[in-house]
Amino acid sequence: MTQYGLTFEELFRKFRPGLIAFATSIIGKSNDAEEIVHDVFIAIWNQNDNRLEATGIKSYLFTAVKNRCLNFIKKAKLDYSELTDDAPVFDGAVNAHSKLEARETETKIHTLIDMLPTKCKQIFLMSRIYELSYKEIAEVLDISPKTVENQISIALKFLKEHYSKH
């Protein structure tokens, strides 16, 4: 059992999709991202890592995945600053009309999110898509929680101002 009261399998099922999307947003390759996430879970399984209890599961997993992605990038000599995020903003709704509207809205939001500065975009996605707290984002990116708060505020202001114009 972990801090969230989950077994290892439940932990894997709960966090794997978000971690893969997060890793893909960093390295741009979903197959490699999936392998990195699985490597993190295998390492936890093999080590029976007790750090999860003390530091928080979500923050620990996202930090571990981020570090492995950065190591991957160093090895592959990729340009980290030019990588984009293809993570979906949200799923479509029930009927065909609402699915079409949802796709249009998703495209519009994706376009606006892609217009954000790189760091602002990354912080916004970590908060809204990967559901990390400001504190967790600050820990993962090694910045202050106030910086995270400011970047989220900038992103939200930008989205509100430009959504109706687009």
**Whether this model's pTM surpasses 0.75:** no
Please tell me whether residues 93 and 74 are part of one structural domain: no
Q: Which domain holds residue 100?
A: 88-163
Please tell me whether residues 62 and 100 are part of one structural domain: no
What is the tens place of the pLDDT at every residue in 95-140? Answer: 566 667 777 877 888 888 889 998 999 899 888 877 788 988 888 8
Please tell me whether residues 77 and 99 are part of one structural domain: no
Q: What is the pLDDT of residue 144?
A: 94
Distance CA 162, CA 166 (A): 6
Q: How confident is residue 151, by pLDDT bands cut at 50, 70 and 90?
A: very high
Q: How confident is residue 147, by pLDDT bands cut at 50, 70 and 90?
A: very high
User: Domain for residue 36, yes or no?
Assistant: yes
User: Domain for residue 110, yes or no?
Assistant: yes
What is the tens place of the pLDDT at every residue in 20-32? Answer: 888 888 887 888 8
What is the tens place of the pLDDT at every residue in 37-58? Answer: 999 888 887 776 555 554 578 8
Distance CA 98, CA 45 (A): 42
Please tell me whether residues 105 and 128 are part of one structural domain: yes
Helix, strand or coil for residue 103? helix
Distance CA 98, CA 90 (A): 13
Among the candidates 81, 108, 129, a domain finishes at: 81
Among the candidates 81, 106, 133, a domain finishes at: 81
Q: Is the dihedral of CA 107, 109, 114, 118 positive or negative?
A: negative
User: Domain for residue 1, yes or no?
Assistant: no
Among the candidates 81, 115, 136, a domain finishes at: 81
**CATH code for the domain in which residue 133 is found:** 1.10.10.10
Distance CA 144, CA 162 (A): 27
Q: What is the pLDDT of residue 48?
A: 66
Q: How confident is residue 35, by pLDDT bands cut at 50, 70 and 90?
A: very high
Please tell me whether residues 68 and 93 are part of one structural domain: no
Distance CA 106, CA 138 (A): 27
Q: What is the pLDDT of residue 145?
A: 93
Please tell me whether residues 107 and 145 are part of one structural domain: yes
